[in-house]
Amino acid sequence: MATCPIIQEREGEWTSNEMIEVLSFRIPAFFLSGSESPQVLCDFITNFQTKPDDVFIVSYPKSGTTWVQEIVWQIYHNGEISKKVLGDRVLFIEKALLPESTHLDITTMPSPRLFKSHLPYDAIPKGTDDAKTPCKYIYVARNPKDAAVSSYKFMASFGTNGMNAPWEFYAKLFIEGKTVYNKWNDHVLSWWKHRHDPNVLFLKYEDLKKDLQSNVRIISEFLNKSLSEEVINLITEQCTFKGMMKNVQSFLLGGKVEGPKFLRKGMVGNWKEHFTPELDERFEKEVLEKLKGSGLEFDFEL
Ligand code: PPS
């Protein structure tokens, strides 16, 4: 474990997962190996030099990053399906210093380099001369009720990260911004403000569920990758939840069958099975009201 202050929320016997603070937001403690200090990761992220053809696929945790990474991968490979673990095809920038997290070498990655990140807009690497050589960012946002449930289920499936808390405790931490990557509303709004930047594509998980084909087309156009209708249709079929489940070994953390999985239910509205009316009221007031006036809205059921 990292030799740095570990943040762990507690209430009675309940504990959250272990986190560390980097660039003023919380990330899982295991993103650093035991010997490194958070400053090393801060410096790495802050000084990271982007290239104009880099593509970052970004979200608040559990909002559809895996889904969009797979779509982007297939777009660049004309609908090819890879058996390789996704983390060996797309580099998770916050875990780049963790040797066991990937076989990708950042210094020799072929272009276009594909990156996954959960960083808010202000912290995402932009290169030294952003105006001249901007890379591309695809941000995917998901309604916070489903994102919170998905995040809880994922954290609980580790078994070894210190969390022993029930959903009600985790939901409270999520509302208060005391889970990884802090407050959901700050994160999505940081990217929403840049949705009209020519190098930013802002997507919503629920829109992908409603019409995947149009979104595959939108993503390929954003990446200037022209594809035939046949390939667009192939990618659409292969990137439905059912399609991706056929290649499920690509979407296991570290490729381990018994570990946490990046594909779980893949639906809009799973939150209804976990929310009490009181919790729903808190989310509406303390999370969703913060979006008022921004123009950003979400579907909570389809
Ligand atoms: S992570 O760990 O933060 O990178 O997770 P992330 O990939 O962002 O989000 C995981 C959730 O996305 C769902 N998912 C999908 N939904 C629909 N269709 C497809 N193809 C798909 N792929 C991934 C995944 O199941 C997680 O949501 P939940 O609600 O837990 O099922």
The full length of the chain comes to 302
Q: Which tokens belong to 79?
A: 């609908």
Which residues are identified as catalytic? 118
* Distance of CA 95 from the midpoint of ligand 1 (Å): 19
Dist. CA 236–CA 138, nearest whole Å: 18
User: Residue whose CA is closest, atom 27 of ligand 1?
Assistant: 266
Range of the domain at 239: 49-291
Residue 66 belongs to some domain of the structure: yes
Query: Residue 194: which of 111, 130, 115, 112 has the closest Cα?
Result: 130
Report the pLDDT value the prediction gives residue 106, as an integer from 0 to 100: 86
Which regions of the chain are under pLDDT 50? 1-2
Question: Residue 43: beta bridge partners?
Answer: none
* Distance of CA 154 from the midpoint of ligand 1 (Å): 10
| pTM of the full structure | 0.96
Q: Is the CB of 263 under 6 A from ligand 1?
A: yes
Q: Is the CB of 270 under 6 A from ligand 1?
A: yes
CATH no. for residue 248? 3.40.50.300
Q: How many domains does the chain have?
A: 1
Q: In the chain, what is the straight-line distance between the N-terminal and C-terminal CA atoms, in Å? A: 42
pLDDT tens sequence across 231-286: 999 999 999 999 999 999 999 987 677 778 899 999 999 999 999 999 999 999 99
Residue 36 belongs to some domain of the structure: no
Residue 122 belongs to some domain of the structure: yes
pLDDT tens sequence across 187-199: 999 999 999 999 9
Q: Which tokens belong to 185?
A: 């509303």
Residue 89 belongs to some domain of the structure: yes
Q: Are 112 and 76 contacting, i.e. CB atoms less than 8 angstroms apart? A: yes
